[in-house]
Amino acid sequence: MYTPILYTPSGEVKVYPKEKAELMHKSWFAPPKPITGDFSINGPNTNTRTFHLVTYKEIQDVLSKTSNQSAPSSTGIGYKILKWAFTAAPDEMSAIIKASLKLGHHHKRWKSSLVIVIPKAKKPSYSNPKAWRPIQLLDTLGKLVEKVVAQENHI
């Protein structure tokens, strides 16, 4: 989607896509606050949670609750394709999810996202970055793994 020329609060003009993206980012996200305090780890790990190997049925139940209308990630893969893949190769897909959980590994690809902007309704001018809303599209397989964990823990 085309975005019009944007203006900074001081009136500076932003024309190029990279400039617009940087301006929108600055207007939406405040700089992080400095981290303070003692974050040293003292003593043994007291995590007593037992590991539960997720079942085929649990994965199938979580996947069946996802919407085929959800926007796909930057890969173009949506839940409809994941459902098809699970039907076509349930053992392989289950193995990927189970291995991720057993190893405690959330793949780097699942942590990346694509941010798109959509205009907010009924704004008098779209030259203000605040007239736009960021939407983050995450990898659907990564989201599925997160949903399985959330379902397992009843979060």
pLDDT at 155: 46
The tens digit of pLDDT for each residue in 75-116 reads 889 999 999 999 999 999 999 999 998 888 888 888 888 888
pLDDT at 2 over 80: no
Instruction: Please tell me the distance from the alpha carbon of residue 29 to that of residue 63, in angstroms, as a whole number.
Output: 32
List, as one string, the DSSP characters of 1-55.
Answer: -----EE-TT--EE-SHHHHHHHHHHHHSPPPPPP-S-----SS----PPP-PPP
Cα–Cα–Cα angle for 135, 11, 118, nearest 5°? 15
Residues paired with residue 135 on neighbouring β-strands, in sequence order: 116
The tens digit of pLDDT for each residue in 121-150 reads 999 999 999 999 998 888 999 999 999 988
